[in-house]
């Protein structure tokens, strides 16, 4: 059985959602962030040297990194929620699968870090938000043309995109001025598998 090392309010929520969508049996080992620093507890280093979440254990393997875990689970499920058969949709799938962490998440994380730095951080934030807005405008245009990130059906690319979009609504200005993105976010958060994952994972700040 798959074991998910789950950190509260983290990217590992996506893994729980994907496991629910794919129907795999799994168990969860929960970890709580330090209330002051918001960092992961040192116990996670005993699981993986980076001390980060998500990490999963399956059949003697230990896997880290959200994208790698998502691809592993999709392969394990025989391609369910994987790349569409249409060539253009498949290219979109691959792009958004990596765009979530490679391009969209870094400025969001930078904004979070700078928001905790007095004076100089506030000055730097004025430059970060326009960078984030470029990404949010891009996402809005993409979702205006189709219901899901890769095409007409939900894929694992939507799972990967969920956390940065949720984070953007919480702290980076995503609101009803980008209606297609908000509609997509409301849609995924209403899915039965998503709701089950929230119940399993515990309180989630971005729900």
pLDDT digits (tens, 9 = 90+) for 121-173: 667 777 889 999 999 999 999 999 999 999 999 999 999 999 999 999 999 99
**Strand pairing report for 61-64 and 55-58:** antiparallel
Please calculate the CA angle 65-198-7 and round it to the nearest 5 degrees: 40
CATH classification number, 87-191, choose in 1.10.3720.10, 1.20.1050.10, 2.60.40.650, 3.90.226.10: 1.20.1050.10
7 has which bridge partners? 31
Domain with CATH 1.20.1050.10 in the chain: 87-191
Sheet arrangement for strand 2-7: 26-31, 2-7, 55-58, 61-64
Domain 2-81+193-201, CATH homologous superfamily name and number: Glutaredoxin (3.40.30.10)
Average pLDDT, the chain: 93
Distance from CA of residue 207 to its chain's centroid? Answer: 12
pTM check: above 0.75: yes
Domain with CATH 3.40.30.10 in the chain: 2-81+193-201
């Amino acid at each position: 059985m798959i074991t998910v090392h789950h950190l509260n309010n983290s990217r590992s929520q996506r893994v729980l959602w994907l496991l629910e969508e794919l129907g795999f049996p799994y168990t969860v080992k929960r970890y709580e962030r330090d209330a002051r620093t918001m960092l992961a507890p040192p116990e996670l280093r005993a699981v993986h040297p980076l001390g980060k979440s998500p990490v999963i254990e399956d059949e003697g393997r230990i896997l880290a990194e959200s994208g790698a875990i998502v691809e592993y689970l999709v392969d394990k499920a025989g391609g369910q929620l994987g790349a569409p058969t249409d060539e253009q949709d498949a290219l979109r799938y691959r792009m958004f699968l990596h765009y979530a962490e490679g391009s969209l998440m870094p400025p969001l994380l930078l904004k979070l870090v700078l928001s905790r730095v007095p004076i100089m951080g506030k000055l730097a934030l004025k430059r970060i938000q326009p960078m984030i807005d470029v990404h949010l405008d891009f996402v809005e245009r993409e979702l205006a043309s189709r219901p899901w990130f890769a095409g007409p059906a939900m894929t694992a690319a939507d799972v990967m995109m969920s956390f940065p979009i949720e984070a953007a609504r919480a702290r980076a200005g995503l609101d009803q001025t980008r209606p297609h993105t908000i509609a997509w976010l409301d849609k995924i958060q209403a899915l039965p598998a998503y709701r089950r994952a929230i119940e399993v994972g515990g309180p989630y700040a971005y729900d």
